[in-house]
Structure 1
Amino acid sequence: MPSSEKYRDHVLEQFNGKLLEGGFRVTTRKMMGEYILYADGKIFGGIYDDRLLVKPVAAAKAMLPNAKLQLPYDGAKPMLRVAAEQIANNGLLVRLLDAMLPELPAVKKKK
């Protein structure tokens, strides 16, 4: 089941609603009915079947100690699921993203 634009917009609003500086920090790219999440040019997670999943880097594991590992789709690596009450806490999402970014590799440029 593909993710809805309404859910994507809700998640983006939570990430981008509390920016200290102007502009959108989190962007998406639609891929096969789901959404890949980018921040500062780095992939940090995605929206799969109306679930917010983030990469299980050390900072994310530390900030979301009770998060369950879930597969975004068959054959993929497991990711941490962000619970609905955590999504509603946009301050937490901004701190989570700030903590995760240094641990994420930069997106490889296409030749």
Structure 2
Amino acid sequence: MASKKETLDFVLNQIKGIENISSRKMMGEYLIYYKSKVIGGIYDDRFLVKKTNGSAILLPDATEEIPYQGGKPMLAVSDIIFDEHSDNAILIEKVFEAIYNDI
């Protein structure tokens, strides 16, 4: 099942304060880049990030999900309630930075 552009737009709107973010459509899904490195994506309308040592520490309660058949487990960021007026945006930026440094 391909992801909807609206899902990508929603996620990008929620993380709009984070610099150096870009996205790219790939085979019906969307890859999310941070400082030109793939850190996650939108898979079946789910926002997932790479599971690394740093992201696992910062998101201890995030569920692991498989992005596509044969893919490695990723962490579901959809579990985090996005609210630009809370610390979640700061947490997401820390997660992106941790993944960037781990890969």
Compute the TM-score of the two structures, normalised by the length of structure 1: 0.79
User: Which residue is 1:14 aligned to?
Assistant: 14
How many residues were matched structurally?
Answer: 99
Q: Distance in 1 between matches of 2:13 and 2:79?
A: 14
* CA distances 1:83-107 after superposition (whole Å, capped 9, x unpaired): 3434443222112112221112xxx
Q: Distance in 2 between matches of 1:83 and 1:5?
A: 16
Which blocks of at least 5 consecutive residues in structure 2 are unaligned? none
Structure 1: 4+ residue segments shifted above 4 A: none
**How far is 1:31 from its partner?**
0.9
**How far is 1:52 from its partner?**
0.7
Is 1:102 the equivalent of 2:95?
Answer: no
Is 1:79 the equivalent of 2:74?
Answer: yes
Q: Distance in 2 between matches of 1:60 and 1:85?
A: 13
Which blocks of at least 5 consecutive residues in structure 1 are unaligned? 105-111
Q: Distance in 2 between matches of 1:39 and 1:9?
A: 16
Question: Considering only CA atoms, is the larger Rg found in Structure 1 or Structure 2?
Answer: 1
Q: Distance in 1 between matches of 2:45 and 2:71?
A: 17
User: Which residue is 2:21 aligned to?
Assistant: 26
Q: Distance in 1 between matches of 2:97 and 2:73?
A: 21
**How far is 1:27 from its partner?**
0.8
User: Which residue is 1:92 aligned to?
Assistant: 91
Q: Distance in 2 between matches of 1:101 and 1:72?
A: 19
Question: 3-state SS of the aligned residue for 1:90?
Answer: helix
Q: Distance in 2 between matches of 1:64 and 1:81?
A: 9
CA contact (8 A) 1:71 1:78 kept: yes
| Identical residues among aligned pairs (%) | 39
Question: 3-state SS of the aligned residue for 1:28?
Answer: strand
CA contact (8 A) 2:62 2:79 kept: no
Query: Pick from 43, 46, 59: which aligns with 2:41?
Result: 46
Compute the TM-score of the two structures, normalised by the length of structure 2: 0.85
